[in-house]
Amino acid sequence: VENVRLLDRFSSRRAVVGTLYLTATHVIFVENGSETRKETWVLHSQISSIEKQATTATGCPLLIRCKNFQVIQLVIPQERDCHDVYISLIRLARPVKYEELYCFSFNPKLDKEEREQGWKLVDLNEEYNRMGVPNNYWQISDVNRDYGVCDSYPTEVYVPKSATAHIIVGSSKFRSRRRFPALSYYCKGNNASICRSSQPLSGFSARCLEDEQMLQAIRKANPGSDFIYVVDTRPKLNAMANRAAGKGYENEDNYSNIKFQFIGIENIHVMRNSLQKMLEVCELKSPSMSDFLWGLENSGWLKHIKAIMDAGIFIAKAVAEEGVSVLVHCSDGWDRTAQVCSVASLLLDPYYRTMKGLMVLIEKDWISFGHKFNHRYGNLDGDPKEISPVIDQFIECVWQLMEQFPCAFEFNERFLIHIQHHIYSCQFGNFLCNSQKERRELKIKERTYSLWAHLWKNRADYLNPLYRSGHSQTQGTLHPQIAPCNFLYKFWSGMYNRFEKGLHPRQSVTDYLMAVKEETQQLEEELEVLQERLANLQKSQPGDNKVKSKQQDRSKQIGLYTSNNSLANTPQEYSNDLKSFPSRSPSQGDEEDSALILTQDNLKSSDPDLSANSDQESGVEDLSCRSPSGGGCLPSEDSGKDSDEAVFLAG
């Protein structure tokens, strides 16, 4: 469709005209204009909602909201075209078969062997061995070999050695969806463990000997402690309501030596609404400070994040400080349980704070234990009530921790943002389906590529420059401050306003330090070469030493730093209340686009690879350096004044 206008979200006056293309996998908008022809690519699987608004004189507006928090506003001249686009997108954005997803057609040009290697990068067997199991207390159980006991569990599950197949099967029959207690994390230092399950089918009075034995076995696997915590991550009211449906929670009287604890994390529906409300706040056009803070509070989002963190902190404390094992469950044990177990693991074990470690953690607590990726993130058309930002919340918890412990994580914010992006993109097979069973049936590993290999290949882009393996923050358990610490939880604009580059700090400390570190490394190498040459010269005197000094392209390095300044010259609308300050105009037009350049750049090749930005940014810098002092785009004196007039009349 031609002559489509792409509107700027913050100012309807700034719009670019271009052509809209729909392909089997992407929506592509190509800007008219001979020089740049900027492109915006959006994967169909990223589209979360499409809204056709009332036709106006200029055309028919179409609003596309994406799951990675991008919002695209198009105006299509002809109502008919708009309707066609709308209908097509609705169909394309909601595939009904897995085979329609992008990962089955995505080909990064790797051979078969490389693909297989990619899938082997994260190996859970290796991970359990790293934790220290199997050992005297824990063993692999094959009861779920053919998914015979629980179809949402992996085939290989670690259970206490004293738990016989009879106990496991008996316990599984007493648990929702037969998700029996299984090992999530084992603490080598003190034998304490984190186990996970679903809620017991206790109703008002039912009990199950095998389930009681199972919990007993978990306690015995930690000889240092005479009780275990059972943590129900739901609000007490929700858990009690479940009893009426024959489900519920453990009765302390029936189980010997347990301490039962509720931690009120709300359910997926509350979380979905909360995110919705927060995104509405993010989308406000020039909100006041009060609008924003009030909206943020009203959404309850940060309160929910804190609830998840508090649960993780409680468990980490029980394991690390008290040496007590913990059994965690919610209702089905695949949402809140996954969040809480992985936050606790992250606090306990520095390994999970490395790049590889976080991949392993997601693979273990989320992918292998049957977190319903397909349902939660709406990869295939399904029940909208199943959709909920469960893993987004975990990813945010990691970010909140990174803010509090800046040296503790090997990866940077970009790493988290890209993982979030790909959970929704369906470009890689990792997050497909709802369980391991389904993925095996679909032969995901043979037919698609692994995200982890892709991220690993580009790991230089994801490094946190402040991370040093010997640093104290990279050792042992993290102890976030518990109370009073509300102010420690902050709004994550890097994620939820990811595509509004104008809102972010204009210079990135991370990128700057990475550039410095890179230069440092080159200097180290050069130093070595120079020292060698010096030694040679001193030794052999003669002049046949012609090793060329490794010339550093210093200017290039510097260029890398200063490109950070690029957005510096991009003023915002500072006088909204005056209805647009004077000729916001001419000189502005081209600069505001910088945000678009970046947007487009991120999505080109449907890979949110921010590292590619540096070129673009320096390009922008040229632009912005030029424009204030003159250049072809500046208005004539008169036109400038005209717009002044208009403005002040309005003001």
Q: Which of 195, 330, 341, 433 is catalytic?
A: 330
Is 34 near another protein (CB under 8 A)? no
Measured CA to CA, the distance from residue 205 to residue 187 in angstroms comes to: 34
Is 330 catalytic? The answer is yes
Size of the site for another protein (CB under 8 A): 91
Q: Which of 124, 296, 442, 633 binds another protein (CB under 8 A)?
A: 296
Q: In terms of CB distance, is 36 or 575 closer to another protein? A: 575
- Residue entry with tokens 């690029």: 566
Residue 109 buriedness (CB in 10 A; 0-12 / 13-18 / 19+): exposed
Which has the closest alpha carbon to 417: 576, 574, 603, 181? 603
Q: Which of 165, 240, 293, 650 binds another protein (CB under 8 A)?
A: 293
Measured CA to CA, the distance from residue 80 to residue 85 in angstroms comes to: 9
- Residue entry with tokens 């994260």: 122
CB contact at 8 A, 102 and 44: yes
Residue 294 marked in a binding site = no
Q: Which of 96, 165, 237, 523 binds another protein (CB under 8 A)?
A: 523
Map the footprint of another protein across residues 303-332, applying CB under 8 A. Answer: 303, 306
Is 488 near another protein (CB under 8 A)? yes
CA atoms 417, 419, 424, 426: torsion sign: positive
Stretch that binds another protein, among 165-173, 221-229, 390-398, 557-565 (CB under 8 A): 557-565
Map the footprint of another protein across residues 622-651, applying CB under 8 A. Answer: 624-625, 628-629, 640-641, 644, 648, 651
Residue 638 buriedness (CB in 10 A; 0-12 / 13-18 / 19+): exposed
Is 294 near another protein (CB under 8 A)? yes
Is 241 near another protein (CB under 8 A)? no
Q: Which of 116, 283, 322, 519 binds another protein (CB under 8 A)?
A: 519
Is 283 near another protein (CB under 8 A)? no
Measured CA to CA, the distance from residue 411 to residue 355 in angstroms comes to: 6
* Least distance (Å) between residue 482 CB and another protein: 9
* Least distance (Å) between residue 296 CB and another protein: 6
Tokens of 304: 């929910």
Q: Which of 34, 56, 469, 486 binds another protein (CB under 8 A)?
A: 486
Q: How many CA atoms lie within 13 A of 340 on its CB side?
A: 34
Map the footprint of another protein across residues 384-413, applying CB under 8 A. Answer: 404-408
* Least distance (Å) between residue 283 CB and another protein: 11
Residues 6+ apart with CB under 8 A from 285: 9, 10
Q: Which of 80, 91, 145, 468 binds another protein (CB under 8 A)?
A: 468
Residues 6+ apart with CB under 8 A from 6: 15, 16, 17, 18, 29, 31, 40, 72, 73, 74, 596
Is 209 near another protein (CB under 8 A)? no
Is 254 near another protein (CB under 8 A)? no
Measured CA to CA, the distance from residue 132 to residue 190 in angstroms comes to: 11
Is 440 near another protein (CB under 8 A)? no
Is 526 near another protein (CB under 8 A)? yes
Annotation: binding site: 267-268, 330-336
Active site (catalytic) residues: 330
